[in-house]
């Protein structure tokens, strides 16, 4: 069950983070024939994929076993990774000089 959850939430997290970063960077930097969007999709997509995998496994472990151990730790790790990726994306957007 944990493997299935990781296989489902990993690509979903990759796609959501990648598209979100592409839209955000396009609004900040402007379109450069799709180059800005593709670069931000490739740079931030893997962070979302890893966060999705951690979240999927953590949710299954948390709700299948009933105890807080590894499941809670993995969910905290997924949230921390997602927050760190959003923080890096924000710093890149604010550091842009026009």
Burial 63-93 (b: 16+ CB within 10 A, else e): eeeeeeeebeebbebbeebbeebbeebeebe
Encode the chain (98 residues) as per-residue pLDDT tens digits.
889 999 999 999 999 999 999 888 888 877 777 778 888 899 899 999 999 999 999 988 888 876 778 888 889 999 999 999 999 888 888 886 65
- Angle, CA of 63, 17 and 19, to the nearest 5°: 135
Q: Write down the pTM of the prediction.
A: 0.83
How confident is the model at residue 92, as a pLDDT? 82
Of the candidates 11, 17, 8, 9, the residue with the CA atom closest to the CA atom of residue 83: 17
């Amino acid at each position: 069950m944990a493997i299935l959850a990781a296989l489902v939430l990993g690509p979903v997290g990759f796609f959501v983070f990648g598209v979100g970063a592409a839209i955000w960077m396009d609004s900040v930097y402007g379109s450069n024939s799709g180059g800005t969007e593709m670069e931000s999709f490739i740079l931030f997509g893997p962070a979302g994929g890893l966060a999705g995998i951690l979240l999927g496994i953590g949710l299954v472990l948390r709700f299948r076993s009933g105890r807080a151990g590894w499941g809670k730790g993995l969910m905290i790790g997924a949230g921390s990774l997602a927050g760190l990726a959003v923080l890096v994306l924000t710093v890149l957007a604010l550091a842009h000089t026009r």
